[in-house]
Structure 1
Amino acid sequence: MNVIEFQQVWVAYGDRPALKDFSLVAETGERVVLLGPSGCGKTTVLRAAAGFLAPDQGAVLLNGTIAGKEGRLYLEPEQRGLGMVFQDLALWPHLTVHGNLEFGLKAQGIAKAERERRILEMLRLVRLELRANARPNELSGGEQQRVALARALVTQPRLLLMDEPLSSVDFELGLELRNEILTLQKKLGFTLLYVTHNLDEAFAIAQRIVVMREGAIIRMGSVDEIKTYFAERSLVGGKASDQARPP
């Protein structure tokens, strides 16, 4: 089943096009990575998916239902049933780890006993059950990343959006967190739409990679297909830089 679908989506910020005729389908349980340099439209795709903006042209569908079309939002962000991990994590500093996870569950009207069950289960999954009463400034960078991931997943979304979630961590922690993301995705079965500019990260996370440039898709395929695409352009390893060109 199609969890999210973009149908010929165009988005502009003023006179600057951010997405140009963008069409993409992600199915249940699929891991799709959006790859490309800064300013190529990757984050705009996530913003359109999350309901932070409506497409100027085209449509965004969630589970077959129109969520945004032709400048109008049909589903507000809180109605979309998805989770999101931001680049800056956006944890609430005045809330404990428990409070950060509980916030979204309260907004959904989940009863207290069920809230506590879900929070405990999720904290166990990310190995933070002993840090439930800590505040974000008392946590390490890796722990903060896990809280952001747990907060996004505790509401049991079918779709998880991740915007450059590992860009600020060191190499070894990045490897560890990649593995944790993959483990959670396989265990929970959510669809993942993941943004990065890093080739190695994309190759590790993805089942399918969408290469973007200047608001458009220039290549889409399996990890092996995209490795070949970049190998032919001497770009294997490092970042998908501005050298990435349409064929």
Structure 2
Amino acid sequence: MIVVSVVAVLAALGGLVAVIGSLGNYTPERQPGAAVAGPDTALPHIFRGWSSPKLFDAVTDRAKDQRALTEKEVFGQNELAVSKKLKLKLVAKKLDTDCSAALWGGTLLEQVSDAGCTQAARGLYVSSDGRYVGQYTLINLKDGKSAAELVESLKTLYRGGWMRPLESPKAAFPAGGYSEAGGYALGHYVGLVWLGRVDGAEPGPKDDYVSLTLALRGAEKAVYRRVVSITGPSS
């Protein structure tokens, strides 16, 4: 009886080994939007998102705001003031009608396509002291619901899909360096802010990212002007 039991156990183990062997080197299928970035890809380490303020209700539906964005409208200012001594200087700008030229990541590209993305305007900045690099991107979607959903999804998916950095000899996000980002729903638009130190180091006590972010968001004046054009100056 002992011999029979041992033989049965060995047979079972042999069957298990055969099954495992038949599986080979199985690798789970990559989920859509999973990070495809390599170690040299610049990505934000932190992302925060905000819903659209009531102020932008007038531009919740693109049907009421059909005029396309222009490069001059969004990036007409060559400098954005951070403080009396510090400014952000525009070193590159681009407006794409193919949003996949400005963004990457399977899930992100699918989402903006479903959201009717027609434009992505990007501006790259470097601070006047050469310490910081920043990029602002304004995305034109079909409605406020799509904008809100995009910002919400980026809270968890930004590591697997993000904006493509513009190239300039004057500024660049260092590969593997520390940076921070934020997303803002603005009616049917989404504004994305991306900031970091040129040396890639984490911010210290003297690095005022709040003021830098507010300065970068100066590009959003284009959306404010559109609200006024619809509701009138009294708003």
TM-score by length of 2: 0.23
TM-score by length of 1: 0.22
Higher strand share: 1
